[in-house]
Amino acid sequence: METGNLMLKVKSLNLFRSLGVSGRLGWLVLVGASALPGLGGSCQAFEQQGSPIQVVTPDNQNSRAPGNPVGTQSQGTEPSDQAEAKPSNPTQQEPPVVSTSSNEDGSADSKQLSEVTRDAVEKDWASLESSSGIDDAVKETLRPIYREAIDNLKQAEVARRREAEYRNAIITAPPETIDVTRQYELLPTLQSLVVADAQIDTKDLQKTISERQDELSKHRDELSKVAAELVRVQARRDEITVRVANLKTELGTSRAELAGPALAADAASPKRIADRTRLESVQVLLVAENQMLEAEKASQDEREQLAIAKQRLLKRKIADEEVLVARLQTRWSENKSKESIELTASISAVLKTARAEPDNGRLDGLIDEVGALLKEYADAVALSKRVSAAETAATQRLDYLEQEYTHLQTQVEMRDGGRAMAQVLFDLQAQLLNPSEDNAIDIGNLPKLDDIRISNLVVEREIRAHTQREEQLPTNILPAAKPILEARLELLQKLNQEYTDLLPSLSALGVSNELFLQRVDEVRAYITEQLFWIRSALPVDLTTIRKIPGGMSWLFNAEHWREFANNLFTLFVLRPVQCLLLLFTVIALCVTRPWIVAALTRVGVATKRVSTDRYILTWQAFGLTLLLALPIPLVLLFLAWGIQQAAEPSAWLRGMGSGLSNAVWVALVLEFAGAASRPGGLGIVHFDARPSTLRLLRKVVFRIGIIYVPAQILAASTLYGDASEYSGTVGRFFFITAHVWVVLLVVRMFKSSQGLLVASAERNKNGGRIKLDYFLFALTLAVPTALIVLAWQGYLITAIELSLNFVATLTVMSLGELAYWMTLRWFALKKRQLALAERLENWRNRKTAEETPESEGDLLVQEAECEQELDLEVIGEQTRRMMQFLYTIATLVAILGLWSGTIPLIAVLEAVQLVGSLTLLGLAQTLVILAVMTIAVKNLPGVLELAVLRTTSVESGTRYAIVTLCRYTLLAIGLSAVASVLEIDWSKYAWIAAALSVGLGFGMQEVVTNFVCGIILLFERPVRVGDVVTVDGTTGTVTRIRMRATTITNWDRQELVVPNKTLITDTFLNWTLSGTVSRIVVNVGAAYGSDTDLARGILVSVAQDHPIVMDEPKPMATFEEFADSYLNLVLRAYVPDLDSRLKTITELHTEIDRRFAEAGIEIAFPQQDVHLKSSVSCPQCGADTSVSLVDEAR
């Protein structure tokens, strides 16, 4: 009756409009008539709710809030909101809005609530915030309260606008439904549309097809929205009922709080006022939401009927458009083929006539060229058809994907999980995103867009050069060539047109393909996210336990396993080669297993001796271990592959295939870990692991494999289709059983008498390390326990996904550990070889020292205590630390990438803003880069020494320079990476750079100069670590070259610190720059009267007889001068190094003294002749008397 009255009103309004009566006047007449007994029934629905009917015309419907009397303006409505509520077309008359207001609990608070508006609350907060009489601490406390109140009032305004829309729909939806129904009835028949399309000109076919395809895409988009709206309307019925009941409870609670003594109206405390305002805003929001829900419920039937009518209309339009587009494309293709055939026939006739001419030898080149153009034209026409078909398929595929995605999103929004929702997601994942369909829009066999563009340019160039081509022909053959030239020009023009049409089509096809693939990735990610967080079953109760026996009967039903066997038999029939090859491989691995174990043992024996140990042996052991681990994973892989080849697998078989696929790599990891832990295997022999730990690990791995892997496969078999009925019972039972078994094994592996915790306590006395081990034990135990809880609560899909992710995490960690130990094994082997070479060198040195004993203190040059000359223990420790850190970082990054698809950790970190543009992700990246840089710079010397430098003939000074430069390079790269992550804008710090330049030019000039000179020293190398130099009269050995200064240790073990600038700008003596050979000079003074030839001969003979003095250059003795007391003889000889310089000089002196004594040559000692002469005058006679005295002293 109510619907009939409402339709009567609508029809009456249409009658008034047809008579010229304005819409507003018509509504006034209807409202007045509604008071009559015959028309009053249309308002019974509202009167039964106790709500007065309010008729709002287009002039005043936007000037009041719902629930207020007509003509009054809501204080909470802003001008912007009023503008949004106005119709977009001001000339169109809008029907009135029927609004209701109800207060089931009484109307005593209606006046009070009407006074709580957003403007008023915002003004109150602004006044309070600007008040100087309230402390800032109090303001900070009140800020979130007022912010919540303002947000509540904003939501209330939105609810009022939606309420108005719903109430408008009660009036506007029925006539719109009638209008849509009339449009459907007036649609032309398909036959008439086909007849009309037949009249379209052939030239306009391509344009018409493009327009129809655009229209079809638009209709499909509209249908997706209408279908989503229909699902939303149908799903909202139960939700509204539940929400209205909750609203009444919440409204009663808020009113009770507001009426409490703590928030009395006479309370003047700012805090109480703020709390009272917040509660009043909550009431406003609840009342507005309640009215909105009532209006939504009242308009559901009208909106549902309208959506159904639109859906029917759009489906009819889409069906007609699809048929018409297909017919037009067929017609276009036929016309294209017909045109191509006609052109080919005419040109072929021309060519045939030309070939029949008696003197056509001079036209053969032109005929062949036209023939090639004709073939190219035929290929272009065929390509146009393929591109057109592919473009249509791409558009349809993309439209279908968009429809399904929109429908899926609507279903997910309207339903809170459940088994049915999980199956919807699984079906879309299997059907829409099947791997074989990901490349449904296949453009790989089509030519590239650039190739078509180049071909088009070549054709256009040939068209422009056609006249020149005609002029180049001889005059006598021009008449015979004229038809061929005309055919050539026509072909070029047609070919140009084909290429011109192909370019936009290929471009559009490429864009459609990219959009499709992007959308597929989005849908796949969305499905994965929804499946991960969906609750597919109810929590475990007695009913669940009672259903387990029935689930077991279903799971082990003979029909299922018969289907499994039939599928394998069919696979053997269809693909016998692949099946037999895999079968023979597994049999061969099983048969040759004893030989593989024996080979692994022989490889382990070869590694025990340094002379036979090679790194290739470790790779051989790795390959043999992998062969031992392959049989079971290969069998599982074959079974999973066989199920995937099934044409129409059942839900159970599909689940088995999924479980087997996941079990392949789990079994591979477990089998490899067990094979690597065997005695004489990879872990014990090559990685030097503890045998007791590996024995325990092998037992645990075996026990996990026999329970966990089968249980996971059986649990996965209950996830899809009809089999999902048993996922909450038997599937959950197997999953929980598997993880309870894992918990027990984890406890045994850590807490047994030979467990990891006991071994760690024996090996590490550090309490921190032991606590870390206990933390790892608790974490390892908590993971399967949490998965058990999730499955128990009904999140079985989430638990299975997390379980697989955790297994993948353990796999990544195992791979990182394996890579670390493989790398460390190489470094350990290098260290072992270097240690052997060092011991051999020390043995040779000791043997040489025993043969040529020397006294203490004879060495001129002491061992340079250079910090780069690290011993092998330090080198090994640095290498181990650096490798461990780098592999740890790489493993953590890999694990983060693995979990990013499940938990958007990267997006969460990037969303947290810290300071300016710096995010939490940027801070984490900065810390990681700094840590890597610090560890690398600190431990780089050991790694380079062990990996490269010690195995070459590079000198120690050169090695030090290389290490230092590498450190500087790593430091620069690390700082640059940090600056890049922090997005530092260097232009903002130009003034700082200018100030630093001035400061460096004055205050730090010497420091910077020395730093630059240090770099020059490392590159130019005028002095190296270990060189013997003389600087400012001090001779010593260079022991360190730092950034600012160089350290020289003299013979007294005193360190002289020399600024690097001195070694670049000043003069110094380097004794060992180009070589260690040095010359010694021995001065000998022979007494006067000695035989100088004999003395020089003795000197040369002494030098030649000395074992250290070099034969080349030859020793040389010279007679230098006649000194005051001796004849100066000089012996010059060369020694190979400075270490033996003092010793050699001493021995030469001793031997010269002995030889001279035997030859009777006296070594002169200092002597002096004194001549005294005196003159005396006689005072009496004046005569002079001279007295001469000679005193000769020796």
Going by their DSSP bridges, the two strands 1034-1041 and 1045-1050 should be labelled as antiparallel
pLDDT, average across residues 1160-1173: 72
What integer pLDDT is reported at residue 67 of this predicted model? Answer: 36
Interatomic CA distance for residues 84 and 78, integer angstroms = 10
CA atoms 844, 847, 852, 854: torsion sign: positive
Q: Is 287 within 8 Å of 157 (Cβ atoms)?
A: no
CA atoms 131, 137, 138, 140: torsion sign: positive
DSSP code for 630: S
Exposed/middle/buried for residue 546 (C-beta within 10 Å: 0-12, 13-18, 19+):
exposed
> 1129 has which bridge partners?
1084, 1119
Asked whether residue 1106 carries a pLDDT value surpassing 80, the answer given is yes
Residue indicated by tokens 């065997």? 678
State the amino acid at position 1158 in one-letter form: E
Q: Is 797 within 8 Å of 531 (Cβ atoms)?
A: yes
Phi, psi of 660 (to 5 degrees): -65, -40
| Percent over 90 (pLDDT), the chain | 3
Residue scoring higher pLDDT (512 or 442): 512
Query: 25-34, 221-230, 856-865, 1084-1093: lowest mean pLDDT where?
Result: 25-34
HSE-CB at 362 with a 13 A cutoff on CA atoms is 11
Interatomic CA distance for residues 1178 and 1184, integer angstroms = 6
Residue scoring higher pLDDT (733 or 434): 733
Interatomic CA distance for residues 816 and 808, integer angstroms = 12
Domain boundaries, the chain: 49-130+137-312, 357-532, 542-833, 871-984, 1078-1170
Q: Is 663 within 8 Å of 675 (Cβ atoms)?
A: no
* Number of neighbours of residue 30 by Cβ within 10 angstroms: 19
What integer pLDDT is reported at residue 613 of this predicted model? Answer: 78
Instruction: Encode pLDDT of 195-215 as tens digits.
Output: 777 777 777 777 887 788 788
Structure tokens at 142: 């009140």
Q: Is 61 within 8 Å of 48 (Cβ atoms)?
A: no
Interatomic CA distance for residues 198 and 192, integer angstroms = 10
Asked whether residue 173 carries a pLDDT value surpassing 50, the answer given is yes
Residue scoring higher pLDDT (176 or 504): 176
Per DSSP, the residues of 322-371 read HHHHHHHHHHHHHHHHHHHHHHHHHHHHHHHHHHHSTT-GGGHHHHHHHH
Structure tokens at 665: 């790599």
Interatomic CA distance for residues 1154 and 1142, integer angstroms = 19
Report the C-alpha dihedral over residues 567, 573, 577, 579, rounded to 10 degrees: 20
Give which of 785, 769, 776, 788 is closest to 813, Cα–Cα.
776
Determine if the pTM surpasses 0.75.
no
What integer pLDDT is reported at residue 55 of this predicted model? Answer: 36
What integer pLDDT is reported at residue 634 of this predicted model? Answer: 92
What integer pLDDT is reported at residue 44 of this predicted model? Answer: 37
Q: Is 883 within 8 Å of 820 (Cβ atoms)?
A: yes
Asked whether residue 43 carries a pLDDT value surpassing 70, the answer given is no
Residue scoring higher pLDDT (464 or 111): 464
Contacts of residue 1163, defined as CB under 8 A and 6 or more positions apart, other chains included, come to 1084, 1085, 1086, 1087, 1153, 1156
CA–CA distances in Å: residue 425 to residues 167, 403, 405, 429: 35, 14, 10, 6
Instruction: Kindly report the CATH number that applies to the domain delimited by 1078-1170.
Output: 3.30.70.100
DSSP code for 1163: B
State the amino acid at position 397 in one-letter form: R
CA–CA distances in Å: residue 984 to residues 918, 923, 980, 990: 10, 13, 7, 12
Q: Is 1020 within 8 Å of 1063 (Cβ atoms)?
A: no
Instruction: Encode pLDDT of 892-910 as tens digits.
Output: 888 887 777 667 667 667 7
Interatomic CA distance for residues 1143 and 787, integer angstroms = 79
Instruction: Encode pLDDT of 682-741 as tens digits.
Output: 888 888 778 888 888 888 888 888 888 888 888 888 877 667 777 778 888 888 998 899
Instruction: Encode pLDDT of 47-71 as tens digits.
Output: 333 333 333 333 333 333 333 333 3
pLDDT band for 840, please (50, 70, 90 cuts): confident
Q: Please give the biggest Cα pair distance in the chain.
A: 190
CA atoms 919, 923, 924, 926: torsion sign: positive
CA atoms 605, 611, 612, 613: torsion sign: positive
Going by their DSSP bridges, the two strands 97-99 and 913-915 should be labelled as unpaired
Interatomic CA distance for residues 951 and 941, integer angstroms = 14
* Strands, E assignment, 136-288: none
Measure CA 949 to chain center. 35
CA atoms 759, 763, 765, 768: torsion sign: negative
Q: Is 1104 within 8 Å of 1165 (Cβ atoms)?
A: no
What integer pLDDT is reported at residue 39 of this predicted model? Answer: 35
Instruction: Encode pLDDT of 594-622 as tens digits.
Output: 999 898 888 888 887 777 778 888 898 89
What integer pLDDT is reported at residue 164 of this predicted model? Answer: 92
HSE-CB at 325 with a 13 A cutoff on CA atoms is 23
Give which of 581, 632, 433, 400 is closest to 521, Cα–Cα.
433
| 447, containing H or E segment | none
Structure tokens at 564: 């499994």
pLDDT, average across residues 1049-1053: 82
Residue indicated by tokens 């996922």? 727
Asked whether residue 394 carries a pLDDT value surpassing 50, the answer given is yes
Q: What angle do CA 574, 577, 582 make, to 5 degrees?
A: 110
What integer pLDDT is reported at residue 104 of this predicted model? Answer: 43
Interatomic CA distance for residues 819 and 159, integer angstroms = 60
Report the C-alpha dihedral over residues 83, 84, 85, 90, rounded to 10 degrees: 60
What integer pLDDT is reported at residue 987 of this predicted model? Answer: 67
Q: Is 430 within 8 Å of 436 (Cβ atoms)?
A: no
Structure tokens at 677: 């832990």
* Number of neighbours of residue 772 by Cβ within 10 angstroms: 13
| 594, containing H or E segment | helix 593-606
H/E/C letters for each residue in 749-767?
HHHCCCCHHHHHHHHCCCH
Q: Is 1143 within 8 Å of 1112 (Cβ atoms)?
A: no
What integer pLDDT is reported at residue 512 of this predicted model? Answer: 77
Residue scoring higher pLDDT (291 or 110): 291
Interatomic CA distance for residues 908 and 919, integer angstroms = 10
Helices (H) then strands (E): counts for the chain = 38, 14
What integer best gives the mean pLDDT of the chain?
Answer: 75
Interatomic CA distance for residues 582 and 772, integer angstroms = 45
What integer pLDDT is reported at residue 1002 of this predicted model? Answer: 66
Interatomic CA distance for residues 1049 and 1041, integer angstroms = 12
Residue indicated by tokens 């006395």? 765
Measure CA 256 to chain center. 53
Residue scoring higher pLDDT (264 or 1193): 264
Interatomic CA distance for residues 830 and 47, integer angstroms = 95
Give which of 930, 668, 690 is closest to 814, Cα–Cα.
668
Residue indicated by tokens 């003034």? 991
What integer pLDDT is reported at residue 95 of this predicted model? Answer: 37
Q: Is 311 within 8 Å of 232 (Cβ atoms)?
A: no
Instruction: Encode pLDDT of 845-875 as tens digits.
Output: 677 666 654 444 444 444 444 444 445 566 6
Measure CA 27 to chain center. 63
What integer pLDDT is reported at residue 532 of this predicted model? Answer: 67
Q: Is 686 within 8 Å of 692 (Cβ atoms)?
A: no
pLDDT band for 627, please (50, 70, 90 cuts): very high
Interatomic CA distance for residues 725 and 732, integer angstroms = 11
Interatomic CA distance for residues 581 and 587, integer angstroms = 10
> 97 has which bridge partners?
56
Highest-confidence segment of 627-636, 858-867, 1030-1039: 627-636
> 55 has which bridge partners?
98
Q: What angle do CA 652, 653, 654 make, to 5 degrees?
A: 90
Interatomic CA distance for residues 1122 and 1099, integer angstroms = 18
Structure tokens at 375: 């073939």
